Structure 1
């Protein structure tokens, strides 16, 4: 009897380490905007919501790398992804709703239901697409990516490298075209269509898929990892003067651009880190603690906003200066510690338990063509 291959998480350890830094970018973004600014740091992360774009590209890379050449039934694949994201999502929504209740703020039951069903990002109403846990909106997009991935892989996996290259170019050009094309929409609808809607965000996922296929079939980027890191840092620093010149409310502001135009830069970073791992070079991203923090990153992403909201409710926003820095340090420590506990006691055991429910019959349907271990995309 053959068994379903069980994709691991650390065949490409630098990608696991990068997950932590992408989550940190989002956390620092929320701290800057919801608590108060810290000189230099807040300017650099003022558009750190772009970390979500990194995760969308990474999802495509990791899933393509993992499942290319593996005959996994669609229902098995989808169950795996459900087991990966839903248990912790449910726990985080329950915690978030409890905090809202303590704060005396009403919570939309429709929003909570839409979040738990992973459809909230499809609704162009802020109270719905932000759901019971505002940070969880991206999981609606991820769920859509998982639904279309089997068909996408079947369409692209057997193609030649030039098809992948043209596909990558096409999705990048589509992003460049859609950004101004949707500029005439009302501001709330435009923000939803560009920043939340799974259909538009799919361009970033597709870019990751073709990059993952190319890596799996032997392509290696020439861009050194330090240069790729410098490009990501330089891009975020370039947004600072742009932000000074253009209000975030305008369609051509850096707020949407930081998320919409960063996908190729993040793809370059991911591919360069993967190349370093495949060639056996140390990157500083694949050590034991970086891998552990990378494993905690999903829980950190889902829980950090709840911790920020709770802290601001209990103590108010701190005064500028040292008090803000201390407040930041406290939130970072508590939220990351909570993430570690959530991973250890909820996320990881729940995933293992749910995967075990597949049963021997389903496992016997799969022929394992690869035993490679890869990082989880979430």
Structure 2
């Protein structure tokens, strides 16, 4: 049976809730790295950057589940994706560059331009792919995903289930081969190639696309949601010994492997949560406040590192002890409050305005599919998932 996505925002509320938890994982990871550790919690989130991997898989799954190329031309799809992510990107880059300036650091104009053009992750120089806003590198990857998505869907949609299964297996296998294959590169270049380069990160997006197509056709994942959640949580706790062995070596094998090997588990989690929503089962992830937090997660993702930077610059890092936990809580609360305001007064109004411009210049027929794409996303982009509801 083929699923027809229903109209309305947040039709898969559990995915919206998961977006918040994935963003929280990234925030706690950055707090641990840039402020100081909180015993126990820091170990648990030391590989929390894999939350970005979750958003890449989620982005592919949701877009595959919502997008109908027969009704929505590729140019409309791409414009709506631009309207969804670019305005808040531009605001966050402006804030980030201003903060760097106050701190006495100048960001090259070329790095800012590359960020605003969403091509910065294609450059191996750290000053370029993190210069404008360090958290925004994932949007460069998402832009590439959006660009190739219509063609990718044309190749995969309508295929038999075994084609999707073999595609998923090939993607997982390619990731396992890619990790050691790049071992000969200089550490910084290898880190960029595995963590930032859109081509390599595309494997995670493709895995999500296959999962979304399977869900659309009515596939029922064999794992119930509680088991899928337990597998993801257990995997990250199993990484704690790695964090003790290689806490800061971002280019070191286990760190990169932790993200690549998480992708299949994230795909299983996304499918299990979506299937529960489609079956009308309560999951505990789709409450009113969790959905609201999920909507704010894109802005939170883009703004939290800037708030961390300001706080550390102004007050310095807290002394080890209970003060670190208080510092964490204060930064998280302030950045989340700013994200709520940015969502209400920047993100959503700007998206509606830009979508309106496209509608006036080249009207597109209204449909549940085009409406669904107003927020369908995952990402490191963390944008809201309207079909389910980055972000992405």
Secondary structure (helix, strand or coil) at the match of 1:223 reads coil
Deviation at 1:364, TM superposition (A): 4.0
**Which structure 1 segments of 5+ residues have no match?**
none
Matches of 1:7 and 1:352 in 2, distance apart?
18
Matches of 2:189 and 2:105 in 1, distance apart?
25
The answer to whether the Cα contact below 8 Å between 1:242 and 1:253 also exists between their aligned partners in 2 is no
Return closer, same or farther for 1:367/1:290 CA change in 2, 3 Å cut-off.
Answer: closer
Matches within 5 A, 1:177-188: 177-188=177-188
Show the counterpart of 1:147.
147
The answer to whether the Cα contact below 8 Å between 2:12 and 2:389 also exists between their aligned partners in 1 is no
Show the counterpart of 1:34.
34
Matches of 2:61 and 2:130 in 1, distance apart?
26
Show the counterpart of 1:62.
62
Secondary structure (helix, strand or coil) at the match of 1:357 reads helix
Matches within 5 A, 1:1-378: 8-68=8-68, 70-246=70-246, 248-249=248-249, 253-359=253-359, 362-364=362-364, 374-377=387-390, 378=392
Secondary structure (helix, strand or coil) at the match of 2:239 reads helix
Return closer, same or farther for 1:112/1:251 CA change in 2, 3 Å cut-off.
Answer: closer
Return closer, same or farther for 1:364/1:346 CA change in 2, 3 Å cut-off.
Answer: closer
Return closer, same or farther for 1:11/1:28 CA change in 2, 3 Å cut-off.
Answer: same
Q: TM-score, normalised by structure 1?
A: 0.95
The answer to whether the Cα contact below 8 Å between 2:25 and 2:45 also exists between their aligned partners in 1 is yes
Return closer, same or farther for 1:74/1:250 CA change in 2, 3 Å cut-off.
Answer: closer
Return closer, same or farther for 1:163/1:137 CA change in 2, 3 Å cut-off.
Answer: same
Show the counterpart of 2:379.
none
The answer to whether the Cα contact below 8 Å between 1:69 and 1:369 also exists between their aligned partners in 2 is no
**Which structure 2 segments of 5+ residues have no match?**
373-385
Deviation at 1:192, TM superposition (A): 0.5
Return closer, same or farther for 1:263/1:7 CA change in 2, 3 Å cut-off.
Answer: farther
Residue by residue, what CA displacement relative to the aligned partner does 1:134-187 show, whole Å, maximum 9, x if unpaired? 000000000000000000011111111111111111101000110011111110
The alignment covers a number of residue pairs equal to 374
Matches of 1:363 and 1:141 in 2, distance apart?
29
The answer to whether the Cα contact below 8 Å between 2:61 and 2:210 also exists between their aligned partners in 1 is yes
Return closer, same or farther for 1:197/1:37 CA change in 2, 3 Å cut-off.
Answer: same
- CA RMSD of the aligned region, Å? 1.9
Matches of 2:160 and 2:115 in 1, distance apart?
38
The answer to whether the Cα contact below 8 Å between 1:248 and 1:254 also exists between their aligned partners in 2 is no
Deviation at 1:91, TM superposition (A): 0.1
Return closer, same or farther for 1:96/1:219 CA change in 2, 3 Å cut-off.
Answer: same
The answer to whether the Cα contact below 8 Å between 2:46 and 2:243 also exists between their aligned partners in 1 is no
